[in-house]
Structure 1
């Protein structure tokens, strides 16, 4: 008899775990060839799913029960459990990245053990999510670049009024801080030089926005748009670090960036 998918893999009955703290409801086998209307729910430990199938099929064949209905319900429950486990893993991975980004911003040489401790998980759990440190760093840089792309798109950086875009970008400043700190300036420092091309493209898009700002006379023209874009990212990095260290609130940070960019520190 083929194994039942458990946790995304097809495991033969003989290798099924003997117990699990999680329970699932499956339709009970009707005795003596009963009809579908006579079915009711019973609780079967998820860890006993494959063994339960073997026993149930044996009893069903002896009693003439509905093998197909029972087996399909069992498979449906297993698949649902697998999807829930995958969703939980994605959530865990996102939480690990959220804690790893500020850690690696301070210490680019942080080990997997240190990353796991900061995330409040075991190293084994971290390796389950990211098999190697390179996998972790690649996922981290991809998240930063994706967040920058989304922030620019939500701000409508190419078309919306310049002041409105600047305010929106300042409100979503962390990805730009992380781009400047971890990815754009020295992508090879994390061991992923291949992300440099995409980081360049995102920064170029930011520069184009500041060029548009110069054309509307909101931003000064005696400095290059590249300088202005770099200043924005550097201010975002400063605000992010001050926020992480508790010296500045998130709302203060979103106001600090455009104020310093447009008016500087002059009274």
Structure 2
């Protein structure tokens, strides 16, 4: 008596995960990706998709929330203690691709979700990075003549630039973490101080 309902629930969960996986990929490539495109990529019909997500906004919200949960778990697993420069290099190397995907999904959300919801979603993924940058500023390792939020935004732009260069064939994926970390160290170094080599903080 319970086998059929259990199987249906398992099928539903697989469909949900497939839809969210497809949404993450499609929306990261094209913020205007349609429900039909996402359903096709997930291998399900639009009726099935709408059975789990009432509309496109709800789907985008769920895709962003899942990406943030996964990204936050990845950040939580990284040791951000010790010298802030070492921690920055470690953060970039272990999580840059996840942060880029969150940012790409945020672009899709900006055109669909309310500003209040975007702020709520956006607050979690940047909090750990902001805390690291602020600690670096207080320790004199990072420049303090610019706002913490600006430095965090700069780091995100460097990461997105690397992702774009990989897509365009201008940068090898294996080189991206080192390129991002070296550029971020140069941008974060206080004026008048020598820029540390990447090897020094690896």
Determine if the TM-score, normalized by the shorter chain, exceeds 0.5. yes
SS for the counterpart of 2:49 is: helix
Aligned counterpart for 2:57 among listed residues 134, 143, 159: 134
Aligned counterpart for 2:2 among listed residues 5, 28, 35: 5
Specify the alignment match of 1:155 in structure 2. Answer: 78
1:112 aligns with 2:35: yes
Specify the alignment match of 1:144 in structure 2. Answer: 67
Using the TM superposition, give the Cα deviation of residue 88 of structure 1 relative to its aligned residue in structure 2, in angstroms.
Answer: 5.4
Consecutive unaligned residues in structure 2, runs of 5 or more? 188-194, 196-202
Specify the alignment match of 2:198 in structure 1. Answer: none
Cα distance change on mapping 1:97 and 1:165 into 2, 3 Å:
farther
Specify the alignment match of 1:254 in structure 2. Answer: 177
SS for the counterpart of 1:109 is: coil
Kindly report which structure 2 residues correspond to 1:214-229, keeping only aligned pairs within 5 A, or say none: 214-229=137-152
Specify the alignment match of 1:189 in structure 2. Answer: 111
Could you say what the CA RMSD is over the residues aligned between the two structures, in angstroms?
A: 3.0
Specify the alignment match of 1:231 in structure 2. Answer: 154
Kindly report which structure 2 residues correspond to 1:1-267, keeping only aligned pairs within 5 A, or say none: 4-8=1-5, 79=6, 82=7, 86-87=9-10, 89-157=12-80, 159-170=81-92, 171-183=94-106, 187-193=109-115, 194-244=117-167, 247-263=170-186
Cα distance change on mapping 1:5 and 1:136 into 2, 3 Å:
same
In 1: Cα distance, 2:49 partner to 2:166 partner: 26
Query: Does the 8 Å contact 1:179/1:199 carry over to 2?
Result: no
Consecutive unaligned residues in structure 1, runs of 5 or more? 9-78
Query: Does the 8 Å contact 1:187/1:196 carry over to 2?
Result: no
